[in-house]
């Protein structure tokens, strides 16, 4: 059941993007994700799912630099009835380059807490 839900989330909500204010100065994106347990303790967990929301703000005086804030939630079910829930928060900065209209390359780094 959870695997079907994760696949549907990927197909329906691949990326949600809102832009406002000056062109490319502010954006919000929501990204769903899947969690597949690996390693020697993988047998204790089932496949999980999560989502992340990120807010980017481009600086007016340096339009190729942007600031980013992120918040996320993930849930990883145990083989038993319980599940592990993770909340994450991070902030950082990045650089973006737009070689042609509607195509932007960006690199960013964040640090945070979960």
Instruction: Read off the pLDDT of residues 61-88 as tens digits, 9 standing for 90 and up.
Output: 888 899 999 999 999 888 887 888 899 9
> What is the extent of the structural domain holding 80?
2-113
Cα separation, 107 vs 26, whole angstroms: 16
Choice between 65 and 15, residue whose per-residue pLDDT is larger = 65
Task: Give how far the C-alpha of residue 28 lies from the chain's centroid of Cα atoms, to the nearest Å.
Answer: 11
Nearest Cα to 28, choosing from 38, 20, 18? 18
- Say what the pTM is: 0.67
How far, CA to CA in Å, does 108 sit from each of 8, 41, 61? Answer: 28, 31, 18
Identify the burial level of 102 via C-beta atoms within 10 angstroms of its C-beta, where 0-12 means exposed, 13-18 middle and 19 or more buried: exposed
Give the pLDDT score at 59: 84
Our count of domains for the chain comes to: 1
Determine if residue 2 is left, alpha or beta; phi over 0 gives left, psi from -120 to 50 gives alpha, anything else beta: alpha
């Amino acid at each position: 059941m959870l695997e079907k839900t994760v696949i549907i989330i990927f197909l329906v909500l691949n990326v949600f993007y809102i832009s406002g204010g000056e062109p490319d100065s502010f954006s919000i994106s929501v990204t769903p994700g899947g969690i597949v347990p690996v390693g020697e303790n993988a047998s204790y967990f089932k496949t999980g799912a999560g989502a992340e929301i990120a807010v980017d703000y481009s600086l007016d005086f340096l339009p190729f630099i942007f600031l980013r804030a992120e918040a996320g939630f993930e849930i990883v079910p145990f083989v038993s009835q319980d599940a592990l829930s993770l909340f994450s928060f991070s902030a950082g900065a990045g650089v973006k380059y737009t070689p042609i209209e509607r195509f932007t390359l960006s690199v960013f780094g964040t640090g945070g807490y979960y």
